[in-house]
Amino acid sequence: MQNEAKNLIYKKNIVLKLFMILTFIGFVNKLFSQSFYINDSLREKAFSFRGVVRMDEFSNFTGGLDQGSGYLGEVDISLKIITEKLGIWKGGEFFVQGMNVHGKKPTSNIIGDFQTFSNIESDDHTSFYEFWYNQHLFNEKVAILVGQLDMNADFSVSENASHFINSSFGVIPTLSMNNTLSIFPLLTCGAVAKAKVSKKIFVQTGFYNGYNGDFTTNPSAIKWEYKKENGFYNITEVHYFNMKDTVVTGTYKLGLFYHTGYFIKLSNGDTLHNNYGIYAIADQIIFSKYPDSEQGLNAFFETSYFPEDRNFLNFFIGGGLRYRGLFNKRKYDDIGLAFATGTMSKYYKNQSDSILSHETAIEFMYKAQLHKNIVIQPEIQYIINPGAYKPVNNSFVGMIRLFIKFEE
């Protein structure tokens, strides 16, 4: 009874906090919607405001470390400033973003998976997130981005995979599990250069600090520190766009990764200098219900390889299907099925008989757009070999995500 009462009080407090946050976002949204116009003829804003709330209610029905339910929440507020609309100079953008994450940590206490079934799971914190300056050059064919950057905003991105909630459909886990990266929930400094080589080819490369600390030593998330043992890393992508007339029907990405930090040799514990890997991402329209329409069947595929001697998770493969507008009266809804498999290095697996060869997450979701700014996403995930750890049984998880957006 005591636990039930505590859970009820906890949920009431969460609801109250979210109500206050939504009220604040609505107020700031109204303020920005009525302010900061450069002149009456353009009627364009130099300042654009955006607020996002994500709320996950989940239950682990069977398997995993334990059965139980819980709540995860994320709130972020951002402001972008366009320099040209301020009458200063052309092609410049300033961006700042703050974030609050709260709720339980089911991966370590309930599910036991290493791919992390929800992409908003983190320690409770309120802090800065991204802040950067972006300069477009040569008629927007080139862009230079510097500041505190979320690497996954630019790299390791699949449009179709991004509709799913498991973290492996965001950052490819051979990148995120083996290396300290500037990704959610804690970022560091970096610089990115982008170039549109042609209508069909796009290239981007980024350099990032290899150390981002933790929320204990960096609670505001704006402290940058360089450590030699953590080094820095470079990530480079080449994109190829398959086109039919003026419509992009497929996007194919090849990524290369190199990290200058120190890594442990899994076979004997020696220190190795640097890490590296390769990955590929493909998004493809299978068919469209109507010409130039987003409605139809889409597919994605992702794979990656890192050396086995220094990466406990050395191979990844994932893919899935997403259909938009399956029902005629629900043309903006998405339904999808996807899988993500992370394979353990043989050197890591040899360390214990309890370590299994892989973990696989299978996700089925339906994403219903209730309003242009409100989406509800019920889904189930079946996680095979959570944590690639033999004593943990396969987990069956149900979840509902509510997404609310405010922007001006």
- Using CA atoms, how far residue 254 sits from 137, 154, 336, in Å, is 24, 13, 24
Which residues, including other chains, have CB under 8 Å from residue 7's CB and lie 6 or more apart?
Answer: none
Cα–Cα dist 92/130, whole Å: 16
**pLDDT category, 246, cuts 50, 70, 90?**
confident
- Using CA atoms, how far residue 258 sits from 179, 271, 338, in Å, is 10, 17, 28
pLDDT digits (tens, 9 = 90+) for 62-88: 999 999 999 999 999 999 999 999 889
DSSP state of 289: S
Give yes or no for residue 38 having a pLDDT over 50.
Answer: no
Q: What is the pLDDT of residue 40?
A: 42
| Poorest-pLDDT segment among 118-132, 184-198, 281-295 | 281-295
How is residue 36 written in tokens?
């900061």
Decide which of 217 and 260 is more confident: 260
Q: What is the pLDDT of residue 26?
A: 55
Percent of the chain residues past pLDDT 90, beyond the cut: 77
CB 357 within 8 A of CB 384: no
Cα–Cα dist 178/173, whole Å: 8
Helical ranges in 92-151 per DSSP H: 106
List the chain domain ranges.
2-36+46-407
Which residues, including other chains, have CB under 8 Å from residue 322's CB and lie 6 or more apart?
Answer: 160, 163, 297, 298, 299, 300, 334, 335, 336, 338
pLDDT digits (tens, 9 = 90+) for 256-291: 999 999 999 999 999 999 999 999 999 999 999 887
Helical ranges in 140-232 per DSSP H: 173-176
What mean pLDDT, rounded, does the chain reach? 90
Q: Buried b / exposed e across 188-222, counting CB within 10 Å, b at 16+? A: bbbebebebeeeeebebbbebbbbbbebeebeebe
pLDDT digits (tens, 9 = 90+) for 360-384: 999 999 999 999 999 999 999 999 9
Q: Report the amino acid identity of residue 373.
A: N
Q: What is the pLDDT of residue 224?
A: 86
The CATH class of 2-36+46-407 is mainly beta
